[in-house]
Structure 1
Amino acid sequence: MRALHSITASAIRLTDPELTSRNPLIRKLERFVHLTEEDRAALESVSAQARAVDPHIDLIREGAVPEDAVLVLEGFACRYTHCQNGSRQIIAYLLPGDLCDVDLADLGSMDHAVGTLSRCIIARVPREALVSLIAQHPNIARALRLSKLAEEATARAWIVGLGCRSAQERVTHLFCELLVRMEAVGLVREGWCPLPLTQVDLADTLGLSNVHVNRLLQDLRRRGLILLRGRSLKLLDLEGIRAMAEFSPRYLHAASCDSGELLL
């Protein structure tokens, strides 16, 4: 990926009430704990300065010692690593509302890179601001801890997928996961989920070839199971696809703190 200095857009302020009411970080964390007005204001503050970042830009390079946590407000980013033969393995998606990395103080140098997959809106949270946020807001600290546990559970689910699931199951399981994660931050509309990924991105995520991914997507379309339109995805037979993928959203811990009901 290109270096971060290739960012082209100027700073974007996210202080308008209409925008902050849709702040994906707040929406995500409120799925874990109840946030006070003071908590929400603090989260809006760390989200207030953001930049537009082009696709395929490194936000944190492998081997670097990050001084800021990266907050994704819009678009898809990822954690990834390159093998010596040049192949890329995507090891996690960073979606709107995801804060990477919360454990800056203990992190040291990165053993992987973080980069954008699509055009993103990114805010950087300095180490000192993050430490202060966690120390002064116990609700936020707990929500971030629960969010981290969900990330770890997601990583385990991806390992299981690579080791045990068929190619079709890997694709459909990932689609179900993305739908749950995007719905949690209010980005699913009439069943349509943003999917600004290329077939190469999916191949590098699922351990498949680009050609294999293309065939799988065509097959799912022919069978009337999915729609792909522009940069969006719709699962037409949600229950059937979930059964096919043996998907349960429980590992995502995507429960509302008010209702206790799992999404989907």
Structure 2
Amino acid sequence: MAANAGPNSTANTPGNRGLTATPGLPQFARRLATLGENIAFPDLTPAVIGRKSIETVQPIWADTDGRQSMYVLEEGLAYSFTFLPGGKRHIDDIFGPGAICNWPRLRSPDYQCNLMLKPNSSLALVDPARFGEILKSNVSFAAALRRLELARTLRNSQRIRALISLPAPHRLSIFLLDLREEYRLSGNEDDWLPLGFTQEEIADLAGMTEVHVNRTLAKMQEAGELTRRAGYFCLPNAEKLEAQLDYRRFTSGYGGDGHD
């Protein structure tokens, strides 16, 4: 694992303002490269519409985003969410650098989801039709993308099973391992990683209250399972925690079956 980097280590505007030309998708390519295979990376520049920088928290609402672009996160964090019938928010998935936040749009142009972009994030806007044409002429690249997104789907299923069947401390541990995996897939293998989410957001993802999240995090720290400092977190025994929870990563770049 990399040495401890540690915690010591365009405005939010409507419309097309804040968009600039983007030469390809380097973070996306880095994420695909974690599969550990020889992949021929095509030039993705023709598919990139532009880039948007986010200084403050900004939602992209499903009913107003125009169903025109795929969103590839280049820096920062984001998450997708839905509102349950009673009005409570549920966070469906989390995204790190290089992730396609609404990848089903590639095959279903009408796909909609609510996205929340965290502060100091940047986003590449990609034309689905152009991206699809590039995939058609690059078989190995297209296959790698399918494997990566299948791994995401399986990981989400794992988290949903945890939400249904596991006690709160285990659900919270699954979230932290998922967040750690998002950083790993973006090439960040530091021991200390930005937590990036508020306790309210963690509660909405793990099916807990904010008070319960706070208490559970404190208990994890007392047990030596978690260390926190200045907005960063460290899982000192992550591999042991994975084994205890039978946590799987599903990406061949980390052991083929998801285990080291």
- TM-score for the superposition, normalised by structure 2: 0.82
Inter-partner Cα distance in structure 2 for 1:92 and 1:100: 9
| 2:39 alignment partner in structure 1 | 35
Displacement of 1:44: 6.0
| 2:247 alignment partner in structure 1 | 248
- Could you give the per-residue CA deviations for residues 143-185 of structure 1, whole angstroms, max 9, x where no partner exists? 1111221121022112101111110001112212222331122
- Could you give the per-residue CA deviations for residues 193-241 of structure 1, whole angstroms, max 9, x where no partner exists? 2321111110000000000000001111122221122332111222442
| 1:132 alignment partner in structure 2 | 133
Distance change in 2, residues 1:106/1:243 (3 Å) = closer
Inter-partner Cα distance in structure 2 for 1:52 and 1:193: 21
| 2:181 alignment partner in structure 1 | 180
| 1:212 alignment partner in structure 2 | 212
Do the aligned residues in 1 keep the contact of 2:74 with 2:124 (CA within 8 Å)?
yes
Matched residue type, 1:210: E
Displacement of 1:13: 5.8
Inter-partner Cα distance in structure 2 for 1:230 and 1:188: 18
| 2:29 alignment partner in structure 1 | 26
Distance change in 2, residues 1:158/1:260 (3 Å) = closer
Judge which range, 57-66 or 194-203, deviates more: 57-66
| 1:236 alignment partner in structure 2 | 236
The reply to whether residue 100 of structure 1 matches residue 97 of structure 2 is no
Inter-partner Cα distance in structure 2 for 1:135 and 1:215: 50
Inter-partner Cα distance in structure 2 for 1:256 and 1:88: 33
- Superposed, 1:74-89 pairs within 5 Å as 74-89=75-90
Inter-partner Cα distance in structure 2 for 1:54 and 1:130: 27
Do the aligned residues in 2 keep the contact of 1:9 with 1:52 (CA within 8 Å)?
no
| 1:196 alignment partner in structure 2 | 196
Displacement of 1:26: 0.9
Matched residue type, 1:199: Q
| 2:122 alignment partner in structure 1 | 121
Displacement of 1:102: 3.3
Secondary structure of the equivalent of 1:186?
coil
Matched residue type, 1:255: S
Inter-partner Cα distance in structure 1 for 2:129 and 2:109: 15
- TM-score for the superposition, normalised by structure 1: 0.81
Distance change in 2, residues 1:103/1:180 (3 Å) = closer
Matched residue type, 2:67: P
Distance change in 2, residues 1:164/1:97 (3 Å) = same
Displacement of 1:31: 2.7
Secondary structure of the equivalent of 2:86?
coil
Secondary structure of the equivalent of 1:253?
coil
- Write 1 or 2 for the structure with the bigger share of helix: 1
Inter-partner Cα distance in structure 2 for 1:200 and 1:234: 20
Inter-partner Cα distance in structure 1 for 2:165 and 2:201: 21
Distance change in 2, residues 1:247/1:97 (3 Å) = farther
Displacement of 1:80: 0.5
Gaps of at least 5 residues in structure 1 are: none
Distance change in 2, residues 1:236/1:50 (3 Å) = same
Identity of aligned residues (%): 19
Do the aligned residues in 1 keep the contact of 2:226 with 2:235 (CA within 8 Å)?
yes
| 2:52 alignment partner in structure 1 | 51
Secondary structure of the equivalent of 1:107?
coil
Structure 1 vs Structure 2 CA RMSD: 3.0
Judge which range, 44-53 or 139-148, deviates more: 44-53
Matched residue type, 1:229: R
Do the aligned residues in 1 keep the contact of 2:250 with 2:256 (CA within 8 Å)?
no
Inter-partner Cα distance in structure 1 for 2:230 and 2:15: 24
| 1:146 alignment partner in structure 2 | 147
